[in-house]
Structure 1
Amino acid sequence: MLARTVFNQIFLFKPSQIPISALSLNYRSITTAARLKKQLKIPSTPRPHIERPAGSDELYKRLCVEVRGHDPAVLESYERFVRLVSTELDIQPVNIENPLFFTERWTLLRSKFAKKKYWREYEIRTYYKKFHFKHLTGSTADTFLEYVQRNLPEGIMMIVERIRLEPFRDNLVSPSSSSSSTTTSDNNSEQQENS
Structure 2
Amino acid sequence: MLGFIRNSVSRNLLRSSLSTTVEPVKTLEPAPVELDKLYKTMQIELRGNDPAVLNSYVKFATTAGNHLDVNSKSWKLRKPNHERLTVLKAIHVQKKHRVQYEFRTYYSFISYMHLTESTALTLLEYIQRNLPEGVSMKATSIELQKLPVHLTREESEQSSES
Q: Specify the TM-score bucket, using the shorter chain as the normaliser.
A: 0.7 to 0.9
Matching residue of 2:156: 177
Shift of residue 175, structure 1, vs aligned partner: 6.6
Structure 1 residue runs without a partner (length 5+): 1-52, 184-195
Does residue 128 of the first structure (1) align with residue 107 of the second (2)?
yes
Render the CA deviation track for 1:91-125: whole Å, top value 9, x for unaligned: 121x3120131111111112213411112221101
1:157 — aligned with what?
A: 136
Kindly provide the CA deviation profile for residues 23-77 of structure 1, in whole angstroms up to 9, marking residues without a partner as x: xxxxxxxxxxxxxxxxxxxxxxxxxxxxxx7241110011001111111111011
Counterpart mapping for 1:1-195 below 5 A:
54-93=33-72, 95-99=73-77, 100-173=79-152, 176-183=155-162
**How far apart, in 2, do the equivalents of 1:177 and 1:170 lie?**
11
Give, as a single letter, the amino acid of the residue that structure 1 aligns with 2:136.
M
Residue identity (%): 42
For 1:84, the aligned partner's letter is T
* Whole-Å separation in 2 of the counterparts to 1:117 and 1:157: 37
Distance 1:175 1:111 in 2: 72
Corresponding residue pairs, total:
130
Aligned residue identity for 2:76: N
Secondary structure of the structure 2 residue equivalent to 1:153 = coil
More strand as a share of residues: 2
**Bigger-Rg structure (1/2):** 2
Other structure's SS at 1:172 match:
helix
SS of equivalent to 2:138: strand
Structure 2 residue matching 1:173: 3-state secondary structure: helix
Shift of 1:182: 2.9
Larger RCO: 1 or 2 (CA < 8 Å, sep 6+): 2
SS at match of 1:108: strand
Counterpart Cα distance in 2 of 1:78 and 1:151: 9
Q: Distance in 1 between matches of 2:90 and 2:154?
A: 68
Moved over 6 A (4+): none
In structure 2, distance between residues paired with 1:155 and 1:174 = 52
TM-score (norm 2): 0.73
Ranges in structure 2 where 5+ consecutive residues have no aligned partner? 1-31
